[in-house]
Amino acid sequence: MTPLGAQEQERELEELLVEHAERFALRFGRGAPARRFFSPGRVNLMGAHLDYNGGPVMPMALDRGTFVALRPRTDDRIELASTLERETLSTRLSDLPRAPAGRWFDYPLGVIVRLLGEQGQERSAIGADVLFGGNLPIGAGLSSSASICVGTAFAFRSLWGRAPDPMACIGAALWSEREWVGVQCGIMDPYAVALSRPGHVLWLECKDARYQHLPLDANELMVAIVDSGIRRELAKGDFNQRVAECREAFARLRPLAPEAQVLCDAPSSTVDLALERLGPLLTKRARHVTREVERTRAARAALLAGDHAELGRCISATHASLRDLYEVSVPELDCIAEAALGHPGVFGARLTGAGFGGCVVVLLQRKARAGLAEHLEGEFARRFGRTPPVFFFRSDAGPREFS
Ligand code: GLA
């Protein structure tokens, strides 16, 4: 999380990518060395489920993510393989699948379909052998999907002689997730992956995509992530259902807040005036969203003022709201979030990502790191009979090629 040690961080990553290139050579044969790319994951500190409601979010890219090793071919075939999955895709660029297959490679394939469509290059584009891999827990709320999508866009734009412009990579990644895979996600994840800076969090206003980098005091603060081990696939409905509920809540609230262009524009007081219109379920969803906007702005002020205790309180209040109002938590995540607050030097903890499983993010004093993992493992094991992995992350500089 600190620009100090950045060289060491880069060296570690370089070594991992060298190993990944070795695996590429075992898979695809020796020959011209593969090009090596890295694309980070992300964690969101504040602004839970606000991006698709047009609100502010505060994510940061992580120093773990997707590895891409790519070697151009002389024909127009693409071969997609992964060190983390068994299935592979072998196809021609001039004869790409017309629909997703329900497999991991749908994400990079959607990006390739999009890039080709944009470029009108279907006939002339060269193919590639590609091996994906990485060190990010998959499907754990750390945006492994945006990481692989942005990484694929970056690598294939480079392959085809296009500048790996962040906005173009973000556009292709969003298209793949929304139009190809079918998750109605907001804009936060690819923005966080593509635009983050070391030692900073990203402040993104999702209504108009304005963003800023806010410094995170890396000498004082640290981010830990605890994986509950519970997984639920977003494309399978729960996430899209929350998106649909918010859309409906906004339609019903609109007459009371005519100025509002998105649900996040509606003041939280309008929800209290609309209990009948909304009914109990949509009241809960709209309460979470409108209060989360207030909390997220308060968290920004606290971060800028160096008030880490207040920032932590906002983070923990977000967890309670996700649990009680948005109903996307599970007992394992509640256990971790609660146990974290019992460790001295922890400022706040909340589930991160969409929920329904995945990880808890813990904001703590750097010097409080010692003993945190043991404390959380003990509490969790007592209730669930296993120990959750605990990671300490640094922030990251975004997608890049290692040469
Ligand atoms: C998932 C989505 C994001 C965002 C979060 C919830 O990670 O991909 O767009 O909606 O959930 O904040």
pLDDT per residue of the chain (403 residues) written in tens, 0 to 9: 444 477 888 999 999 999 999 999 999 999 999 999 999 999 999 999 999 999 999 999 999 999 999 999 999 999 999 999 999 999 999 999 999 999 999 999 999 999 998 766 555 789 999 999 999 988 888 999 999 999 999 999 999 999 999 999 999 999 999 999 998 899 999 999 999 999 999 999 999 999 999 999 988 999 999 999 998 765 468 899 999 999 999 999 999 999 999 999 999 999 999 999 999 999 999 999 999 999 999 999 999 999 999 999 999 999 999 999 999 999 999 999 999 999 999 999 999 999 999 999 999 999 999 999 999 999 999 999 999 999 999 899 999 999 8
Residues whose CB falls within 8 Å of the CB of residue 100, separated by 6 or more in sequence, listed in order: 106, 109, 110, 180, 181, 182
Note whether 180 and 100 are within 8 A (CB): yes
Q: Probe ligand 1: pick from 42, 45, 51, max atoms within 8 Å of CB?
A: 51
Residue nearest to ligand 1 atom 10, measured at CA: 49
Secondary element (H or E) of residue 206 = none
Q: What is the pTM for the complete model shown? A: 0.95
Secondary element (H or E) of residue 33 = none
Residue 189 falls in the annotated catalytic set? yes
Cα within 13 Å of Cα(128), Cβ side: 26
Query: Which domains are delineated in the chain?
Result: 6-215 (3.30.230.10), 221-393 (3.30.70.890)
Residues whose CB falls within 8 Å of the CB of residue 242, separated by 6 or more in sequence, listed in order: 49, 285, 326, 328, 354
Phi, psi of 2 (to 5 degrees): -125, 140
Report the alpha-carbon distance of residue 314 to residue 113 in Å, rounded: 41
Measure 398 CA to ligand 1 centroid, in angstroms: 18
Residue nearest to ligand 1 atom 7, measured at CA: 353
Q: Of ligand 1's atoms, which has the minimum distance to the CA of residue 186? A: 9
Output the ligand 1 site: residues, CB below 6 A.
44, 48-49, 51-52, 185-186, 188-189, 353-354
DSSP character for 395?
A: B
Secondary element (H or E) of residue 367 = none
Measure 188 CA to ligand 1 centroid, in angstroms: 7
- What SS3 string covers 45-106? EECCCCHHHCCEEEEEEEEEEEEEEEEECCCCEEEEEECCCCCCEEEEHHHCCCCCCCCCCH
Strand 128-134 versus strand 77-82 pairing type: parallel
